[in-house]
Structure 1
């Protein structure tokens, strides 16, 4: 069993509570330059004039990436509707790059319409991730055009409003599933969601946010010490997923049901009308 390490921290904030984006191209380790440049070239070659700009998010632009462990997640802003684009090339290119570069655990190409990204009257996760966790590596940088964000109820709501549906989807995907890779992916996905949901239950009080799992688990446990062992197990499953679907379904039935109940109580207080994405204040 992988040892759970104290890795990560909370986002920096300014004097008014707005999250500070500490991502920077200078922090990208030279070990990742070649793979990033290759991804940029594929974006340019495949998208042509449709490509507006490219961003990198996560541990890599924060200088916290771990060789052969971290992913390289990129976002492309495009001028045309994503649904109308031919993206059949993506899966094959991702696989090719993953096999070519041992420095990364995996790469991700993703695509978002510029018009949608710049519509920020309500909270949306992509503008949030660009503003707070990403750096532009190609094209015209849109980050300065996006609003600033606090660790408040609008952000917490994003993590909690669909929690029940996500847990239910995980149960459905795991039931009678014998595909090892699919089970591992589902396990890691839903456990990350649960750990981050735990953090967001106390976000309004704490006014702190992180994408990192360990500090999220620790802060949650300060408020819910009786649930610490269960959240620690969720963290363990997130970083070292298992294939025992019976064990996973039992966990989701027990801990998953509990955290859904807590989320519903939170929503009843802060979002009683169950607005999907709340207006930014």
Structure 2
């Protein structure tokens, strides 16, 4: 998301502005979005409450052959295993058909979960601020406005300490090839940069989804870790299957960040 003047992604009242719109979808990706829209309807029909795009495509920053298609579906009822299997089939078909995208990922949730009190400042914020309406009713109408404060920081990324053990398992389970490790590097790099950014977000007083801007904002408050975070931002866009980088994430940068996050914002309550 490009920052607008000195507003840093905020409106005149200091609330986070919704990023992305269908009007910003680059021309090359419009056939992909149109196909996704039609196939979501065909697949989920009356079970679907609403559907959204998120990520680089609705922000207008997607790169042909490098960016993925990200979808969020809110179903009327709690998703079943069959619903998630249908979403994976949809993703695989879109990825196979359209060379413009480098993969597709569909997050399937239930309407009640998105609008629950527990998720107001996590999934609710994500939908209201980072997702672009594609189909159905926009659930953002039932959610509050959001400021870049400590509550939002805690509820979005205050669970890193809980994630690190699973990250270590995933690294150990991955085949010992650069190709197999590349998606892990991309995912973990992005997650750490976003966590580093939300750590300082209340002081920076704004929002951006650009990894490099996130890393620079973080580095202004933690210069001793700035170089590591800048490198993680680079890997988030251009990942290499670097095992040493993954080890550094789970043995050094990740644990330090989790401890500092808990000190500054507290710990996110565990989800069921």
Provide TM-score, normalisation by structure 2.
0.87
| Residues 1:256 and 1:110: Cα distance change in structure 2 (over 3 Å) | closer
- Which has the greater radius of gyration? 1
| Residues 1:177 and 1:143: Cα distance change in structure 2 (over 3 Å) | closer
Moved more, 42-51 or 111-120: 111-120
Q: How far, CA to CA, are the matches of 1:21 and 1:248 in structure 2? A: 32
> Where in structure 2 are the equivalents of 1:151-190 lying within 5 Å?
151-175=148-172, 177-178=174-175, 180=177, 181-190=179-188
For residues 238-280 of structure 1, give each alpha carbon's deviation from its aligned partner in whole angstroms, at most 9, with x where no partner exists: 223333424521443122232222123214xxx3xx4528xxx
Q: How far, CA to CA, are the matches of 1:233 and 1:177 in structure 2? A: 22
Q: 2:40 aligned with 1:43, yes or no?
A: yes
Instruction: Specify which of 129, 144, 148 is matched with residue 145 of structure 2.
Output: 148
1:221 match: 219
- SS across alignment from 2:84: coil
Deviating above 4 A after TM superposition, structure 1's stretches of 4 or more consecutive aligned residues are 7-11
User: How many matched pairs?
Assistant: 266
Structure 1 gaps, min length 5: 1-6
| Residues 1:177 and 1:66: Cα distance change in structure 2 (over 3 Å) | closer
> Where in structure 2 are the equivalents of 1:1-281 lying within 5 Å?
8-9=2-3, 12-83=9-80, 85-120=82-117, 123-175=120-172, 177-178=174-175, 180=177, 181-267=179-265, 271=266, 274-276=267-269
1:9–1:212 CA contact under 8 A, matched in 2: no
- SS across alignment from 1:103: coil
| Residues 1:252 and 1:131: Cα distance change in structure 2 (over 3 Å) | same
For residues 204-254 of structure 1, give each alpha carbon's deviation from its aligned partner in whole angstroms, at most 9, with x where no partner exists: 212222222100100111111222222122223322333342452144312
For residues 39-75 of structure 1, give each alpha carbon's deviation from its aligned partner in whole angstroms, at most 9, with x where no partner exists: 1222112212111221111222222222222222111
Q: How far, CA to CA, are the matches of 2:52 and 2:249 in structure 1? A: 36
Structure 2 gaps, min length 5: none
Q: How far, CA to CA, are the matches of 1:86 and 1:258 in structure 2? A: 38
| Residues 1:25 and 1:239: Cα distance change in structure 2 (over 3 Å) | closer
